Amino acid sequence: MRGGRGMSLRVIIHAIGSAGDVHPFMGIGTALKERGHEVFIVTNPAFEPAITASGLGFRPLGTVEDYHRIKDDPDLWHPRKAFPAVVRHAVDPGHEPIFEISRELHVPGKTVMVASSLAFAARTASELLDIPFATVHLAPSLFASIHRQPEIHGMPFGSGAPVFLKRIQWKVAGKVVDHFVLPGLNRYRAGHGLTPAKNLLLDWWHSPHRVIALFPKWFAPAQPDWPAQVRQTGFPLFDEKDTRPLSPELEDFLNAGDPPVVFTPGSAMSQGHH
């Protein structure tokens, strides 16, 4: 579906994750709003103040307590326990709410959806409600490739490895993802009379309509085995400077001396004291 000249669409954005995952979708939502579209972001209420201050619609997915529960879970930073923790805390509980909110907001013929990588239920909602949707991936590591690929922790065979080893590596990674995600996802799909999902990492989690790689070609060029429906953009570079000003103390620090260089392990890191 294309919003023609003068045609306003309702855009439902499903975003699962921490601030680093949600803020890019606020940037997308702001750009769409400026083009005259009606935008709703479906995410954890921890981000409601920033979303509503940006003039975007908001629907809650879970509770603020849910957000802090996963953020404070030490498993989130364990090399083997992290992904199961994300599925347990954030992915599985979101399946039915994502569908119900999508159904509530759906205006037939005028609605499109945008979904973050972990919002698997958005594809099911798209099938049930006949809503076109795009998957948005924030990093090149979310695209399986036997050609060039970034270095990924726990995956020893990089770009220079033989192709057959990379094929095996991605197949194993896919089975791990399926093991943790498919039971909950397919229970949800079965409850709506849909066929089971399969092969998530290598296929299913990419929307068949459109996939947006939210990073530029100079950062990571598309590979020959990426899905044909992928389109690359630049980084959204969204921040909250217009809706949440810096504190005077931070302003003074930034204005004193040379500009600082900031390194951060991620917006959800709360285990540094360990």
The CATH number covering residue 173 comes to: 3.40.50.2000
pLDDT value for 60 = 97
- pTM value > 0.85: yes
d(CA 47, CA 64): 9
φ, ψ of residue 89 in degrees (nearest 5): -85, -35
Nearest one of 156, 202, 178 to 83, comparing CA atoms: 178
CB 86 within 8 A of CB 118: yes
Nearest one of 119, 111, 140 to 212, comparing CA atoms: 140
Does any domain span residue 249? yes
d(CA 123, CA 110): 17
Stretch 163-175: mean pLDDT? 91
Does any domain span residue 133? yes
pLDDT value for 260 = 86
Answer with the residue of higher pLDDT: 262 or 140.
140
Please check the confidence at residue 19 and state whether its pLDDT lies above 60.
yes
Instruction: Give the contacts of 215 (CB within 8 A, at least 6 positions apart).
Output: 138, 139, 140, 232, 233, 234, 235
pLDDT value for 119 = 95
Q: Model confidence over 180-201: pLDDT tens digits? A: 999 999 999 999 999 999 999 9
Please check the confidence at residue 154 and state whether its pLDDT lies above 90.
no
pLDDT value for 77 = 77
pLDDT value for 1 = 47
Mean pLDDT of the chain: 90
d(CA 13, CA 10): 10
Does any domain span residue 127? yes
Q: Provide the domain limits for residue 59.
A: 10-255
Does any domain span residue 148? yes
Strand order in 230-232's β-sheet?
57-60, 38-43, 10-14, 111-116, 133-137, 210-213, 230-232
Does any domain span residue 223? yes
In the structure, what pLDDT confidence band is assigned to residue 244 with cuts at 50, 70 and 90?
confident
Domain tally for the chain? 1
Stretch 134-140: mean pLDDT? 96
CB 124 within 8 A of CB 99: yes
